[in-house]
Amino acid sequence: MKSFNYPVTIKILYEKEAKEAPYVAYIPEFDVSSCGISEEEAIKNVNQALEITLEEVKRKGHLEEFLHEAGVSTKKSLFSFPKIIIQPFSFYL
């Protein structure tokens, strides 16, 4: 099995009502989220959730479709990942 390094966006949210695991980590590229008692635990958990999701999608034979929906181009087992840019956005309320 070949390993790929793909930069993902992990958004961290704090849900103060959730006493057991108030930190929520979300990877929008793959629509995967998890939570934890700390930011670090939430990030660890969301990475594990993404690994499990990819394994399950691959097992079901839908990996290429799943990756395509996330913006990953696959051609002859070569992967081309989209560029991720983080920049400030100003708005008024």
Kindly report, residue by residue over 58-89, the tens digit of the pLDDT.
Answer: 999 999 899 989 888 877 667 787 887 888 99
pLDDT at 52: 97
- pLDDT per residue over 1-22, tens digit each? 677 777 789 999 999 999 899 9
Residue 4 one-letter amino acid: F
pLDDT at 55: 95
How far is 5 from 44, CA to CA, in rounded Å? 16
Which residue segments constitute the domains of the chain, with CATH numbers given?
11-80 (3.30.160)
Report strand pairing: 78-80 vs 73-75: antiparallel
pLDDT at 84: 79
pLDDT at 61: 96
Residue 9 one-letter amino acid: T
Mapping DSSP to helix (H, G, I), strand (E, B) and coil, where does residue 67 land? helix
Alpha helices in 1-93 (DSSP H): 39-59, 63-69
